[in-house]
Amino acid sequence: MSYMVGLKCRECGRVYPKEVIFVCEFCFGGVEVDYDYDAIRRVFTKAALANRPKSIWRYRELLPIEGEPTVGLFSGFTPLFRAERLAEVLGVEELYIKDDSVSHPSLSFKDRVVSVALSRAKELDFDTVACASTGNLANSVAALSARAGLKRYIFIPADLEMGKIVASLIYHPTLVAVEGTYDEVNRLCAEIGAKYPWAFVNINIRPYYAEGSKTYGFEIAEQLGWRVPQHVVVPAAGGSLITKIGKAFKELKLLGLLDEVHTKLHCAQATGCAPIVTAIKAKSDIIKPVKPSTIAKSLAIGNPADGFYATRVVLDSGGSAESASDDEIAEAMKLLAETEGVFTETAGGVTLAVAKKLIEQGVIPRDESIVVCITGNGLKTQEPLMNRLGQAARIRPTLASFESELASQLADAPTRR
């Protein structure tokens, strides 16, 4: 049973059938999936959800597929945990990490959107899928389309981290490294998509794809015991995730699963690529494109597709925006690892660095509840850490060598006799 009614223009409200349409033919606005919320309200209850599988598909009434899900059956429902050691360092009372660095199968939140996009692409009879990606999306499309038996073309900027290239190539897609920025890759993909009948997950089937990000928000609410935090700090590249987290909370309230939603959404970007942050700080809805220069390559989108909507959702929530420098990003990656045992990628460093800044600035009060969104895994972005970490103590395989090399640490260590 599907509760998806059709597609609707976010700007002028014109409605369209649930086909491969991603832009309003009349006013050129983006289109979004429309649901029958009255029918959903009757079946989408806390009790009904309690017994469902721990994946994104437990929220399937609010996801845009017609039949049974076919791709990404194990994606989602990643850990949300209280981060007490990190909270102590930051001087706050109630801090949580929502940890998509362990997302199945490709270790980033993109598994959520790709599971939805590919399930829908199969329903729409595509046999070939494609994407323009800063890395994580590439990994996820490569992995999930392999298991789904779809042909796949993946387009990335040529200068990506080795980890992200290897984690795409292993699934044997056609990987195309484009000599240019992500924005140029995206523009090229729009041209290719006009010529070849492929499902570009983040372009022509974007309305379906983007809905997958809502599950990140649903999970935050459900895992906190059907309540929402006072603050959520979210990284932004294209600006879709933060928009959809806002939508997720609104839908849960509309359906009666949340009483009140007073969550302030805070947007995190790298200083070297902060078009959305700049607009939010200026309280403007005009996004001025930039040329990215940051170690946070997964966030390096200079012309964000959902920048306008991200700006609006943040300002409407009473939230804020801040950016982090390369050094702050690397320090925050280390801090998260040292305090909470989570190795996140550079984007996670951006998010935590921004959360820290907003707390220090008093924008996020120290006694209010905070969720920090960790969306990717550090094993994929090792290059920027190479010269910023300590080194292993190198010794010969003898007790004497061990004790002489580590003499200072061992001076006060208790021994067995």
Partner 1 sequence: MAVTVRIPTPLQRLTNGQAEVQCTGRTVNELLSDLEKRYPGVKERLCDEQGKLRRFVNIFVNEEDIRFLQGDQTAVKDGDDVSIIPAIAGGGVGLLC
User: What's the rounded Cα separation, in Å, for the pair 106 and 83?
Assistant: 24
How far apart are alpha carbons 113 and 200 in whole angstroms?
Answer: 12
Would you say 134 or 344 has its CB closer to partner 1? Answer: 134
Task: Provide, rounded to whole angstroms, the least separation between the CB of residue 246 and partner 1.
Answer: 16
The answer to whether the beta carbons of residues 299 and 286 sit under 8 Å apart is: no
- Minimum separation from the CB atom of position 279 to partner 1 (A): 12
Residue among 4 and 203 whose Cβ is closer to partner 1:
203
Say if residues 83 and 338 touch (Cβ distance below 8 Å).
no
As beta bridge partners, residue 323 has 269
Based on CB atoms, which residue is closest to partner 1, 135 or 238? 238
Angle at 192 between CA 188 and CA 193, to 5 degrees: 115
Smallest distance, partner 1 to C-beta of residue 25, A: 6
123 vs 184 by CB, closer to partner 1: 184
CB burial of residue 205 (10 Å; 0-12, 13-18, 19+) = buried
Give the nearer residue to partner 1 in terms of CB position, either 87 or 299.
299
Distance of alpha carbon 407 from its chain centroid, rounded? Answer: 44
One-letter amino acid identity for 310? Answer: A
Contacts of residue 195, Cβ cutoff 8 Å, sequence gap at least 6 = none
Of the pair 135, 378, the CB lying nearest partner 1 is at: 135
Contact 266, 320 (CB under 8 A): yes
State in angstroms the smallest separation of the CB of 27 from partner 1.
Answer: 5
Tokens standing for 82?
A: 């209280």
Specify the DSSP element, H or E, that contains 9.
strand 4-9
Q: Where are the beta strands (DSSP E) in 83-194?
A: 94-99, 128-132, 151-157, 174-178
* Minimum CB distance to partner 1 smaller for 6 or for 29: 29
CB of 10 to partner 1, least distance (A): 8
Q: How far is the CB of 2 from partner 1 (least distance, A)?
A: 23
161 near 383, Cβ under 8 Å?
A: yes
The answer to whether residues 239 and 306 touch, using CB atoms and an 8 Å cutoff, is: yes
Task: Identify which of residues 11 and 159 has a Cβ nearer to partner 1 in the complex.
Answer: 11
- Measured from the CB atom, is 212 or 238 closer to partner 1? 238
Neighbours of 394 (CB within 10 A): 7
CB of 11 to partner 1, least distance (A): 6
Start-end of H helices in 270-345 = 275-281, 307-317, 326-340
Name the residues that contact partner 1, by CB under 8 A: 10-12, 22-23, 25-30, 183, 186-187, 189-191, 193-194, 202-204, 206, 210, 238, 285-286, 288, 303, 305-306, 308
Q: How far is the CB of 181 from partner 1 (least distance, A)?
A: 11
Shortest distance (Å) from residue 136 CB to partner 1 = 17
User: Is residue 30 left, alpha or beta, with left meaning phi > 0 and alpha meaning psi from -120 to 50?
Assistant: beta
Nearer residue to partner 1 within complex by CB, 72 or 307: 307
Q: Which amino acid, 368? A: E
Least separation, in Å, of the C-beta of 45 and partner 1?
A: 33
